[in-house]
Structure 1
């Protein structure tokens, strides 16, 4: 039976390890220094045991037709490696997002301020778009044609009828 060890996900119990992660870490997944910072410290992602074994790897020993046991073992090994890389990337992304939030907080950027800036920028983009500019021009032309007709109609309706 294939025994697989995965890297742990960040949880309240082990989050301190990830808080201390150096954002300058080597995250090249093929690097022998993966997870090591410039000083060569331990990789916090490998020091946390995980219960339950592999997720998504079937324990059923049936092989697809035309696949040898060696090929299946190689594929399983590659699958485990890819799943570990995915887990590592998720953890690194989470650490980077937290670091980004900390930097924004230090700069005094709140989510509300960011939303206001994004909405302002979005509205400016809409106002300078070709569709908005053309629509505004057409509405201006329509207004120039309709306004005189409206005034004429208004005068006509206010004039008392003669001879009836």
Structure 2
């Protein structure tokens, strides 16, 4: 074999012989028999303490259950209490308060927007009704309705636009048969 460079960093890879030597090293040799005995004793004590703690916990859980039963605390009432507490905690959280305030502000702005929209629509209808073209249309409708009334046998009094609309609605509600209407129209013509 070639001489190897001794140092912290070897430059050659491990040989099979080196791997065998490394695998034969017993890492447990660093612990003395006395230390092993102490560790086993400590392990035994810990296992006994764990068993004791389990027994104490079981007895405490039993007492806990008995007290809840005597107080009338049922799983359902506990669930209700937990839900109520959770709801209260959520409502008092900063995130909930900020979200609630944001939604309230958004609702107020939306309500104001719809109110403004309704006012604008009402104003536009008022402006439209007062416009010359609508008045001309209204006059034409009134004269057409009064012509129809006079031909059908009505009074032909004309009247306001609202009266004409209501009388037209009443006439359509009476369900005049079309044959009679045709006969009346032919007789008048």
* TM-score, scaled to structure 2: 0.46
Distance 1:155 1:99 in 2: 70
Mapped contact 1:126–1:132 kept (Cα < 8 A):
yes
Q: Which structure 2 segments of 5+ residues have no match?
A: 1-25, 134-189
Cα shift readout 1:102-136 (whole Å, capped 9, x = no counterpart):
11101111111111111111111111111111110
Q: Which structure 1 segments of 5+ residues have no match?
A: 1-61
Return the structure number with greater helix share: 2
Distance 2:37 2:79 in 1: 50
* TM-score, scaled to structure 1: 0.53
Structure-2 residue corresponding to 1:124: 88
Asked if residue 103 in structure 1 is aligned to residue 103 in structure 2, the reply is no
Q: How many residues align?
A: 101
Structure-1 residue corresponding to 2:108: 144
Give the superposition deviation at 1:99: 0.7
Cα shift readout 1:27-62 (whole Å, capped 9, x = no counterpart):
xxxxxxxxxxxxxxxxxxxxxxxxxxxxxxxxxxx8
Asked if residue 76 in structure 1 is aligned to residue 66 in structure 2, the reply is no
Asked if residue 92 in structure 1 is aligned to residue 56 in structure 2, the reply is yes
Distance 2:106 2:87 in 1: 24
SS of aligned partner of 2:28: coil
* Higher RCO (C-alpha under 8 Å, 6+ residues apart): 1
Superposition CA RMSD, Å = 2.6
Mapped contact 1:63–1:69 kept (Cα < 8 A):
no
Which structure 1 residue ranges, 4+ long, deviate > 3 Å from structure 2?
150-160
Give the superposition deviation at 1:153: 5.1
Shift in CA distance, 73/144, structure 1 to aligned 2, threshold 3 Å: same
